[in-house]
Amino acid sequence: MNYSFCYFKPITYLIYDLDGLLLGTKTLYQKVNQIIAQRYGKTCDLSVKAKMAGRRIKE
């Protein structure tokens, strides 16, 4: 069987979208936070998100 049609070019660029400018990931991020918080019997509302905003991981 000939697989020559499966040739891919090597990746030369990679774009990181960490602030949600290119892809609207904020809604997904919020949903994941809610799901994880619920697993531990907690809530992740706007007051919790406001406390987390701008903090480093160690904080």
> How far is it, in rounded angstroms, from Cα 57 to Cα 43?
19
- Predicted structure pTM score: 0.51
Cβ distance 42 to 36 under 8 Å?
no
| CA 54 from centroid of its chain's CA atoms | 16
Q: Quick check: 34 and 44 in contact, CB under 8 A?
A: yes
Over residues 16-55, the pLDDT tens digits come to: 877 778 888 888 888 888 999 999 999 888 887 778 777 7
Give the active site residues. 17, 19
Please check whether residue 17 is in contact with residue 25, taking contact to mean a CB–CB distance below 8 angstroms.
yes
Distance CA 33, CA 36 (A): 5
Whose tokens are 């949903």? That residue is 31
Per domain, the residue ranges of the chain are 23-59
